[in-house]
Structure 1
Amino acid sequence: MCGITGWISYQQDLTAAKDTLDAMTRTMVCRGPDAGGVWLDTHAALGHRRLAVIDIEGGKQPMLVERDGRTLLAVTYSGEVYNYRELRDELTARGHRFRTSSDTEVVLHAYLEWGEDFTERLNGMYAFAIWDPRTEELLLVRDRMGIKPLYYHPTPDGVIFGSEQKAILAHPRVRPVVDAEGLAEIMGFAKTPGHGVYKGIHELRPGHTARIRRSGLTVRRYWALEAREHTDDTKTTVGHIRELLDDIIGRQLIADVPLCTLLSGGLDSSAITALAAKGLAEAGQGPVRSFSVDFTGHTDRFRPDALRSTPDGPYAHALAEHVRSDHRDVVLDTAALMDRANRDAILAARDLPLGFGDGDTSLYLLFKAIREQSTVALSGESADEVFGGYKWFHDPAAVNSGTFPWIAGGGADTFSPDGSLGRTALLGKDILAKVDVPGYTAARYHEALAEVPQLDGETGTQRRMREISYLHLTRFVQMLLDRKDRASMAVGLEVRVPFCDHRLVEYVFNTPWSMKTFDGREKSLLRAATRDLLPDVVADRVKSPYPTTQDPRYALALREELRKVAADQDSPVRPLLDSEALAKALGEGSPDAYRTGAELVLGLDTWLRTRGTELQL
């Protein structure tokens, strides 16, 4: 995995822009700790940081295709194309010659052979930019599900782009300005495709390309979810899902570096770990290496809450023993979660104070520990969105609430402990009125609904559950994929997400809701497709989201940090706060009640202090 950046200017000679490109590229050293490079042309400057995973020696970037001393194409590329071997064979048969064994070179030759339509042939997670000196055009490409990030900032004479906003903000032409809509995007709980939060910065939407010419910038969609009639019966559907999973895992086990799985003991991660163990054994390799996150004393002192009825530890150990994985628990304490360096590191990685609190910090620390032993990890992320796993999928009140179901069904903060007042509980009424998170969320909800593809004659529960699935696959999962990408790339770890394979997503999206719940439970199809690989105690476990610490000292430590902010006359976040709510949070109010609110305020404070962000409200 890697970090990419670049600058196209049709009115400047960019061969003298090395210092600017170096500064932009340096912002992403963590994404690519193994190597870096810059390529300069008259009107194009490309930067790259590399995490070497396939063809360690041959895959250096930016990569060129040259012929007779002339550069035909240049690319800065991030990600993995899992079907690159098949594409390479097809291109070789068509006369192409390769000098490396990397998937990057395959992408370049695929573009030479098929033009922009080559995107339809790619299977993987990727974000890349191809510069064509022959036409002086740039093509930006992002994978179908948006697994890898890509942002761009149009300019009067071209574009500035990068894997992360920080790369673009390192350019002297771009200022870190956030307006009321940008704050609403931060404070809401539904990622808007295409929204870059900072003024002037856009996210390239999943399944889209952007072409930059002298005449301007045009965006094109090359993939979207479509409504199709599902004609397979349940047995055939389960069988096809298993076939897809076997193929997907087989492709995603390919790496020239150490590989592992993320294991929580839930159905999703257990299925991935069991399939990986099976695939490695069949290839004469293994055992599979697995990692879990836990908190000191969490299992012994676990308290069920509205979302989690069981701790992860016993189930992760049951699966690890069942498949004989080389397993390690990464155990964290409150001191690590509250350590300023750790909190600052994940905020810097995410570019924005998006408010997952200790869930962000623990994920960063988990990945940091994994990176000591592995470079690639397989995750069960997105199975809940694909197969219908979350509690609110099965809550009629949440499904029919008239807003995003995870907001209606998850409480004030979807993954917060019981009793939380929500992330905006400490913000001032005037700020909340200007930002208008409820109004912004409502507009985005109706905007998303208008996109949902429907089958003619589809009504009632099936129609509504298609809408619910679409909202999760295009809004909710984007928050989690972005979080996982930023936290993992902050330590140079590549995380692959097999359940995001577009073939699986398309197929399951169109299965009837009655089939997705045929055994009366969540994720019926996934359970049936992988049950033979799992111990019953894991296969029958009720869904439990990513864990959060239950140590009461964590909320108390947050309150003390909040007290320091309140006492600092120069704190940039103080003008945004409600004095009465702050007094309650620092006084007799329950620390747990203000936990998520304190996490957001502390994140905002650090963000405003360290990133030079200008608020225009």
Structure 2
Amino acid sequence: MCGITGFWNPSRTNERELRFSLDRMLDVLDHRGPDERGSRFFQERGLAMGHTRLSIIGLACGHQPIETDDGDYAVTVNGELYDYKRIRTALACEDYKCDGKSDSAITLPLYLKHDLAMVDHLRGEFAVVLYDDRKERLILIRDRFGVKPLYYAVKDNGIVWGSEVKSILQHPDIEPRLCPKAAVHQMMQVMVPGSTAFEGVDALLPGHMLVVQRNGDSLEVQTKRWWDFEFPESHDENADPEPFVQGVQDRLIDAVAARLEADVSVGCYLSGGIDSCSIIGLATTLQQSPVKAFTIAFDSDEYDESNIAKRMAERTGAEQELLRLTEKELYGPAFERATWHAERTFYNTLAVAKWHMSRRVRACNYKAVITGEGSDELFGGYPFFKRDWLGRDDEGGIFAGAILAEEDLQHSAWQDLCGFTPSWIQPWMLVLKRFEPILSSSLTDLLREYDPVGEVANAIDPAQVRGRHRLDVSQYTWSKTMLEGQILTWGGDRMDMANSMEARPAFLDHHVAEYATTIPPNIRIRNGVEKWVLREAMVNVLPRELYERKKFAFMAPPAHTDPVKRAAVQEMIDHWLTPSRVDSVGFFQHDKLMQFIDDAWKETDGTIARRNDIVMNHVLQLHMLHGQYVEGLPLPAVD
């Protein structure tokens, strides 16, 4: 796990300029790799590659960038590549040399053997930037689900890239400026795939590569998809479920075993859910020594599941580290710091909780944990998946206002694409409506011509949803948007790596994922029970109460649930939403915004109150992002 960054501008070949720019870009990625820093310059080409390292595999032999002996090829890697020992041995048998014994060392010989098809041989969570000087070709690669981030900005005179947007914004050719369209998308929580909060900076899509070819004095840029989360056009609805139960079990055991591979201790995140409990149960069996489990506890019974996590830890003999969080930890300086790391807004302070948890993990001298992200996406775990296939079965409870809409909505673009409007996007359509009365005139004018809900639909490949089962469509569209743009960014990598800690989501191993798409819907969700096939695969691992338990919302308690939290949010509002700053950012009308907040604190309907909390979080963070990245305000210290 590391940070990678760099740039290529054929017209700029001054060595001092190259070094000065790259150093600034690396400085803001220190948190991703505090153990070592490396750089490689192709001065005559105007190309610079940088790397900050968090050493987990090959502690003494993993320096990057990695080069060939002749210096014609160089690569930087962020993430983990599993099966590297087997691949390294196979390459050696064919006389392809790996420079060092780290997992990243397999990338260059794989490229020399397979060219761009090297990606098919990579297993894990990774972002790779490789330069081929013989062909004057630069290749940016992102893993299949987008577990590891990779961003880029293409200018008339070159390209800049980085593991985080903040490194790109340090380049002298890039002006930090919030994008109004992206601001609207952040308000509704759903980004257009491939976009960021900043003008001119894009995210490389999961399962894609960006190929940059020099042609004279210019660079030609082409994007290629090399993998997708693809469902079949039909399923055997009469299939025997038992082979699928065994298939899931076998592949998940293998995925967890692969992610226990490290030259440092590997722990597990443990909530009270089926996913993380399955992971720790398998890790306990696979690992000789007791597993270290890290659990978040909230000061609200309605949102806290740490009691079940505690029982799972006791059942497996795990050593549990329990982190209790209150309003003191979830708001104020930690909220601001989490926003800076996220580089976009988030609807719930779970992101802040994850920031605190990764800090605790490092304080316990752990650098890596295995997590349960991706299980819901593969096995139909979220309530909106079940709603799309089987219809409404309840009023949503604490899901209502946050991830379930209380009314059925339709949108023409989604109707055309899917034949229905997925339930997962409907609550965010309602959140956007809550924003409309407080928007500035410029954003109001923008929304007369720009349809943010339709733009998200337009980013989905129609060939991957048409003719598919409704459950497949719902899972696919969520995975191409919210999995990457929310769960794996501000809910995952960005908060983990903020404190130099690597998360390894075993469910998103592509062997598990590709198999999951073949499981018929009535085996993924059986007799109304979500993730049935996973429950059966883990029946001997999970406690009975968890095996029988419905999906629980892993969210932090919203501010409206507690007057102390409300006061903490109001303190941030008083600081960040001054008339001058609101006017400077230009997204809202200050008077109407203040009236909205006053009314929000008086709201008694729980669904509307949750939605109001979401609005306030996004408003605050848009102004924080402007202050942090455009104005250059310093980050506060966190106790």
Within 2, Cα distance between the matches of 1:412 and 1:531? 38
Deviation at 1:566, TM superposition (A): 4.6
8 Å contact from structure 2 (residues 56, 264) kept in 1 = yes
| Counterpart for residue 385 of structure 1 | 377
Q: Which runs of 5+ in 1 are unaligned?
A: 414-420
With normalisation by structure 2, the TM-score equals 0.86
8 Å contact from structure 2 (residues 245, 533) kept in 1 = yes
1:249-268, aligned counterparts within 5 Å? 249-268=256-275
| Counterpart for residue 448 of structure 1 | 460
1:358 aligns with 2:349: yes
1:24-173, aligned counterparts within 5 Å? 24-42=25-43, 43=45, 44-66=47-69, 70-173=70-173
User: Aligned with 1:532: secondary structure?
Assistant: coil
User: Aligned with 1:113: secondary structure?
Assistant: helix
Deviation at 1:251, TM superposition (A): 0.4
1:529-568, aligned counterparts within 5 Å? 529-549=537-557, 550-567=561-578
8 Å contact from structure 2 (residues 139, 209) kept in 1 = yes
1:447-596, aligned counterparts within 5 Å? 447-448=459-460, 450-454=462-466, 463-478=469-484, 479-483=486-490, 484-549=492-557, 550-567=561-578, 569-571=580-582, 572-573=584-585, 576-577=588-589, 579-586=591-598, 589-590=601-602, 592=609, 594-596=612-614
Deviation at 1:537, TM superposition (A): 1.2
- 1:267/1:14 CA distance change after superposition, 3 Å: farther
- 1:160/1:411 CA distance change after superposition, 3 Å: closer
1:222-371, aligned counterparts within 5 Å? 222-228=226-232, 230=235, 233-280=240-287, 285-296=288-299, 298=300, 302-303=301-302, 311-340=304-333, 342-352=334-344, 354-371=345-362
- 1:553/1:432 CA distance change after superposition, 3 Å: farther
Deviation at 1:412, TM superposition (A): 4.7
Within 2, Cα distance between the matches of 1:312 and 1:435? 42
Deviation at 1:610, TM superposition (A): 2.1
Within 1, Cα distance between the matches of 2:438 and 2:184? 12
User: Aligned with 2:487: secondary structure?
Assistant: helix
Deviation at 1:535, TM superposition (A): 1.0
User: Aligned with 1:522: secondary structure?
Assistant: coil
8 Å contact from structure 1 (residues 178, 613) kept in 2 = no
User: Aligned with 2:630: secondary structure?
Assistant: coil
Letter in 1 for 2:618: L
8 Å contact from structure 2 (residues 438, 592) kept in 1 = no
- 1:41/1:423 CA distance change after superposition, 3 Å: farther
8 Å contact from structure 2 (residues 65, 75) kept in 1 = yes
8 Å contact from structure 1 (residues 260, 291) kept in 2 = yes
Q: CA deviation digits over 1:364-414, x for unaligned, max 9? A: 11111112121001111111111111111122267985434223267856x
User: Aligned with 2:39: secondary structure?
Assistant: strand
Letter in 2 for 1:104: S
1:160-239, aligned counterparts within 5 Å? 160-215=160-215, 216-228=220-232, 230=235, 233-239=240-246
- 1:14/1:233 CA distance change after superposition, 3 Å: farther
Within 1, Cα distance between the matches of 2:27 and 2:579? 32
| Counterpart for residue 424 of structure 1 | 435
User: Aligned with 2:272: secondary structure?
Assistant: coil
Letter in 1 for 2:312: L
Within 2, Cα distance between the matches of 1:234 and 1:26? 52
Letter in 1 for 2:22: L
Query: Identity of paired residues, percent?
Result: 26
Within 1, Cα distance between the matches of 2:176 and 2:428? 32
| Counterpart for residue 418 of structure 1 | none
Letter in 2 for 1:318: R
8 Å contact from structure 1 (residues 428, 579) kept in 2 = no
Over the residues paired in the alignment, what is the CA RMSD in angstroms? 2.4
Deviation at 1:111, TM superposition (A): 0.8
| Counterpart for residue 417 of structure 1 | none
- 1:410/1:537 CA distance change after superposition, 3 Å: farther
With normalisation by structure 1, the TM-score equals 0.89
